[in-house]
């Protein structure tokens, strides 16, 4: 039986740093409010290019680090809410840019839980044994859908991408061990967090052009309450099912939307701060990139056999957790 094993990580963040100080010259906000409410100090912004630019750079690094030739890749899955175009998929654009001539692939989205959902998607593909070198990339150019006149949202988001290589290994004790994902709108959540424009229900016309519906809208407070409970509950569920405790869990790898939401999940898992991957202070919420970007930054601290709990919460609502045993 094959296990889906993570064998490498690559990442990319653009050079431009948008600080809280600079944001406070654009909207009515300040560093103290942003840091206290979210934990964010700064975020990265891509000045030229698109989501495929971010993703391609992360994958280039991944190929180099894992000593993989472009033609060896047989599957490319792209988690994004900011694909370059509506059609074709960003996977096609990346495939062409990087010469992944033998890979087929596609995009999908599940809000900020996209990368986590992708862990289960790629797990099923790889466990089948049919695919040998699969790339899952989380990439978002959030600045392309952020309204820099809306202080409720523009302080939150940043641009980045990170990718993992997943390969089958026979009877391995390492890899993606267990996942639990959820989708539930609770009769109204769709109105609490969305980007409406360009969807078939919100076509562009003279009226909608005047609305700001091509930007992220969020009722932060409503989402916050659900995110705290959703993320903490699902982490507890997967920990219990796999007999994980604060003593044998090496790292919590949470989606980076708000430091306070991360703290709540950490508290419930009974973990100390040093066991939580955190980079929200530097990058803000990069949507599909947050979790692999954490793996990328903490890679040197990871040890073979470490138990990792990945978790996320996002628009929809969508949420979930994944138990991964690190393989290198
Ligand atoms: O990643 C996908 C899932 N998303 C999330 O998980 C995000 C969940 N939500 C959150 O992280 C938080 O709700 C936010 C960080 C978005 C907001 O924090 P909050 O503590 O819920 O603040 P709030 O929206 O309730 O606003 C509190 C006050 C309001 O003023 P009044 O009405 O109390 O006078 C806001 O107008 O803070 C005001 N405010 C700001 N003040 C300075 C809102 N944004 C800002 C700002 N700077 N940028």
* Structure confidence at residue 67 (pLDDT): 98
Q: From atom 3 of ligand 1, which residue's Cα is the shortest distance away?
A: 314
Predicted pLDDT at 202: 87
Distance CA 222, CA 218 (A): 9
**Residue 62 Cα to ligand 1 middle (Å):** 36
What pLDDT band is residue 83 in, cutting at 50, 70 and 90? very high
Atom in ligand 1 nearest the alpha carbon of residue 23: 48
44/157 Cα distance (integer angstroms): 9
| Average pLDDT of span 16-45 | 98
pLDDT tens figures, 49-70: 999 999 999 999 999 999 999 9
Q: What whole-number distance in Å separates Cα of residue 254 and Cα of residue 292?
A: 10
112 lines ligand 1 (CB under 6 A): yes
Q: What is the pLDDT of residue 317?
A: 98
Closest CA to ligand 1's atom 30: 152
Percentage of residues in the chain having pLDDT higher than 90: 94
Assess whether 112 carries a catalytic annotation.
Answer: yes
What pLDDT score does 129 carry?
92
pTM value surpassing 0.75? yes
Please tell me the predicted confidence (pLDDT) of residue 15.
98
- Predicted pLDDT at 212: 80
For CA atoms 279, 285, 289, 292, give the dihedral sign.
Answer: positive
195 lines ligand 1 (CB under 6 A): no
- Specify the pLDDT at position 204: 79
For ligand 1, whether the C-beta of 194 sits within 6 Å is: no
Q: Which atom of ligand 1 is nearest to the CA of 223?
A: 8
| Ligand 1 contact via 260 beta carbon (within 6 Å) | no
Q: Which of 285, 288, 294, 311 is catalytic?
A: 285
Residue nearest (by alpha carbon) to ligand 1 atom 21: 221
How confident is the model at residue 214, as a pLDDT?
Answer: 86
pLDDT in tens, 103-145: 999 999 999 999 999 999 999 999 999 999 999 999 999 999 9
Active site annotation includes 214: no
C-alpha of residue 174 to centroid of ligand 1, in Å:
40
Does 192 participate in catalysis according to the annotation?
no
Q: Is the pLDDT of residue 206 over 80?
A: no
**Residue 205 pLDDT > 80:** no
**pLDDT score for 213:** 82
Q: Which of 20, 36, 142, 220 to mutate to test the pocket of ligand 1 (most atoms within 8 A of CB)?
A: 220
Helix or strand holding residue 168 (H, E): strand 159-170
The pLDDT mean for the chain works out to 96
What letter would DSSP give residue 22?
H
The band of 198, judged by pLDDT with boundaries at 50, 70 and 90, is confident
> Residues 211-263: pLDDT tens digits?
788 899 999 999 999 999 999 999 999 999 999 999 999 999 999 999 999 99
- Determine the Cα–Cα distance for residues 194 and 122; give it in Å rounded to an integer: 26
Catalytic hit among 112, 134, 154, 294: 112
Work out which ligand 1 atom sits closest to the CA atom of 153: 16
Judged against a pLDDT cut of 80, whether residue 209 lies above it is answered with no
Cα atoms in the Cβ-side hemisphere of radius 13 Å centred on 109? 17
Is there an atom of ligand 1 within 6 Å of 326 CB?
no
Domains of the chain as residue ranges with CATH: 2-173 (3.40.47.10), 176-325 (3.40.47.10)
User: Residue 163 C-alpha to ligand 1 middle, in angstroms?
Assistant: 30
Residue 227 Cβ < 6 Å to ligand 1: yes
The b-or-e profile of 234-252 (16+ CB within 10 A means b, else e) is: bbbebbeebebeeeebbbb
């Amino acid at each position: 039986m094959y296990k889906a094993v993570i064998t490498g990580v690559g990442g990319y963040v653009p050079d431009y740093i948008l600080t809280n100080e600079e944001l406070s010259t654009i909207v009515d906000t300040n560093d103290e409010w942003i840091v206290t409410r979210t934990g964010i100090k700064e975020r990265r912004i891509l000045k030229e290019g698109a989501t495929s630019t971010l993703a391609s750079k992360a994958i280039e690094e991944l190929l180099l680090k894992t000593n993989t030739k472009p033609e060896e890749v047989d599957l490319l899955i792209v988690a994004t809410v900011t694909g370059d175009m509506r059609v074709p998929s960003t996977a096609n654009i990346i495939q062409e840019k990087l010469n992944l001539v033998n890979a087929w692939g596609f995009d999908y989205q599940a809000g900020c839980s996209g990368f986590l959902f992708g862990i289960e998607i790629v797990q099923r593909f790889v466990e089948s044994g049919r695919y040998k070198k699969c790339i899952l990339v989380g990439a978002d150019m959030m600045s392309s859908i952020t309204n820099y006149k809306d202080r409720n949202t523009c302080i939150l988001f940043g641009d980045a991408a990170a990718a993992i290589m997943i390969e089958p290994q026979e009877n391995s004790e390492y890899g993606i061990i267990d996942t639990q994902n959820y989708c539930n709108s609770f009769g109204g959540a769709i109105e609490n967090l969305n980007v409406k424009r360009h969807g078939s229900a919100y076509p562009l016309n003279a009226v909608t052009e005047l609305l700001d519906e091509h930007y992220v809208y969020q009722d932060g407070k409503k989402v916050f309450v659900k995110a705290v409970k959703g993320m903490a509950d699902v982490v507890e569920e997967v920990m219990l099912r796999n007999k994980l405790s604060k003593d044998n869990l090496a790292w919590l790898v949470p989606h980076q939307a708000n430091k306070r939401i991360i703290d709540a999940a950490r508290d419930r898992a009974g973990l100390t701060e040093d066991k939580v991957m955190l980079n929200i202070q530097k990058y803000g919420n990069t949507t599909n990139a947050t979790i692999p970007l954490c793996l990328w930054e903490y890679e040197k601290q990871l040890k073979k056999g470490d138990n990792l709990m990945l978790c996320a919460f996002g628009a929809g609502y969508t949420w979930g957790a994944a138990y991964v045993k690190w393989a290198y």
